[in-house]
Amino acid sequence: MKKLVPDYIQNAKLYPPGTPLEEVKRKLGIDDIVKLNSNENSLGPSPEAVNAIREAANQVNLYPDNSAFYLKQKLAQKYDVLPEQIILGNGSNELVQFIIMTFLLPGEEVITCSPTFLLYGIMGRVMGGNVKEADLKDFCFDLEAVLSEVTENTKLIFISNPNNPTGTIISADNFKNFIAKVPDDVIVVMDEAYYEYVTDKDCPDSIEYVRGNKNVIVMRTFSKAYGLAGLRIGYAFAPERLVNQMEKVREPFNANSLAQKAALAALDDVEHIRKTTENNRLGLLYVYEQLKNLGIDFIPTQANFVAVKLGAGAGKICDRLMKEGVLVRNMESFNMPEYIRVSIGLSKENERFIKTLEKIVAT
Ligand SMILES: Cc1ncc(COP(=O)(O)O)c(C=O)c1O
């Protein structure tokens, strides 16, 4: 009898999302919760985006614009690319799926580093790929190590920049040298979900490689700094010849009408992004200082989260924080069991995290 489920699906793992707010309320019976486990924007969505959603709500009887004309126009203008060099996803997660579905043949290699965002490996395996993971070096993507994994079977390289969960970035020079050495039949995917938070000027301008028609795809999202995670909308820049192929695997109407309208309004709300990044800057200063005072090690970050080293008991501390209403991310599934990952929230949320952590580590 033939197998109902292919081995590569049978052996694949489920993506472990951060525990949702409702689940903690339901299971622990607590209401007063700070959610710092999924790198969301604690300031909320842009008020302009919320207004746009309200206005658009009366028209959800109509299908969305499948071509997302206005959103692509605005993104194209903002990032100096052509609308034809943009593809939208139901979150950038869906773009990972499109990329793998479009370009990867079963058995071909996907290379990334570990620890990184888990979806590249999960999706690579689910689509029958051979996923290879180089080690991070000093918590950073090690592009030399990635290159040494490349063979004639390699098709895709995924780089999380900044890297989730370590918050580190690769330098512009490193990226330039790397791209020069990547074979022409390999596609490099830069996942820049946390791009808006980056303050280091040495971050690569990866879109420049798209403009230069290299095999580079740059993924961005409205889920993080733009505060629209619940709407599921992400976008990617890629040379038109790659977008044209990815468009064939995209399900029609994948970017819903409320998401398109909200994203348009959010792009215009520059003030909300300014407040968001400023809140992050101040929150990071506070969390760094407090962790130093407590003698707790952490990895300096370019994103809106910090990996905090708590040693062998990190998982248990995570559970205890949850019981006290402070949700942070357990790093066991990321293969960093001595760490937790905490998002930067509002100042009162950051304070609650620090005070609760202080109490737990003192007992
Ligand atoms: C590196 C990275 N890429 C992509 C995503 C997913 O983003 P989206 O909500 O756009 O699917 C996340 C979310 O945590 C992430 O950390």
Domain boundaries, the chain: 7-44+271-362, 61-268
- Answer whether 192 contacts ligand 1 (Cβ < 6 A): no
User: What atom of ligand 1 comes closest to residue 39's alpha carbon?
Assistant: 14
Instruction: Spell out the residues 6+ positions from residue 261 whose beta carbon is closer than 8 angstroms to its own.
Output: 52, 53, 55, 56
Ligand 1 atom with the shortest distance to the CA of 116: 1
- Find the Cα–Cα–Cα–Cα dihedral 298, 142, 215, 189, rounded to 10°: -30
| 3-class secondary-structure state, position 120 | helix
pLDDT of the residue at 25: 86
State whether the beta carbon of 221 lies less than 6 angstroms from ligand 1: yes
Q: Kindly report the pTM of this predicted structure.
A: 0.96
- Alpha carbon of 361 to ligand 1 centroid (Å): 30
From residue 129, alpha-carbon distances to 97, 101, 110, 156, 173 in Å are 12, 10, 7, 10, 30
- Determine phi and psi for 2, rounding to 5 degrees: -75, 155
Q: Quick one: which of 216, 201, 121 has its CA closest to 169?
A: 201
Q: What gap in Å lies between CA 16 and CA 21, rounded to an integer?
A: 15
Q: Which CATH class is domain 61-268?
A: alpha beta
Joined together, the tokens standing for residue 196 give 């808006």
* pLDDT of amino acid 350: 98
Q: Is 164 in the pocket of ligand 1 (CB under 6 A)?
A: yes
Q: Is 167 in the pocket of ligand 1 (CB under 6 A)?
A: no
DSSP run (H or E) holding 294: none
User: What pLDDT does 167 receive?
Assistant: 98
The alpha carbon of 293 and the centre of ligand 1 are apart by a number of angstroms equal to 31
d(CA 185, CA 153): 10
Q: Do residues 134 and 114 lie in contact, with contact meaning Cβ atoms separated by under 8 Å?
A: yes
158 to 67, 96, 123, 195: CA distances (angstroms): 26, 9, 11, 16
**Assigned CATH topology for domain 7-44+271-362:** Aspartate Aminotransferase, domain 1 (3.90.1150)
- Atom number in ligand 1 closest to CA 94: 11
pLDDT number for residue 16: 83
pLDDT of residue 40: 98
Mutate to test the pocket of ligand 1, among 94, 161, 224 (most ligand atoms within 8 A of CB): 224
Give residue 180's pLDDT: 98
Report strand pairing: 216-221 vs 187-191.
parallel
Determine if ligand 1 sits within 6 Å of the CB of residue 116: no
Q: Is the CB of 343 under 6 A from ligand 1?
A: no
Cα 231 from Cα 3, distance rounded (Å):
37
Query: What are 7's two structure tokens?
Result: 């081995």
Q: Where are the alpha helices (DSSP H) in 18-142?
A: 21-28, 47-57, 69-79, 92-103, 119-126
Closest ligand 1 atom, CA of 93?
A: 11
Is any ligand 1 atom within 6 A of the Cβ of residue 260? no
Spans of the chain below 70 pLDDT = none
Distance separating alpha carbons of residues 80 and 75, to the nearest angstrom: 8
* Rg for the chain, CA atoms, rounded: 20
Atom of ligand 1 nearest to the CA of 223: 9
Residues 283 and 291 sit within 8 Å (Cβ to Cβ): no
191 CB near ligand 1 (under 6 Å): yes
Look at residue 37 in the predicted model and tell me its pLDDT: 96
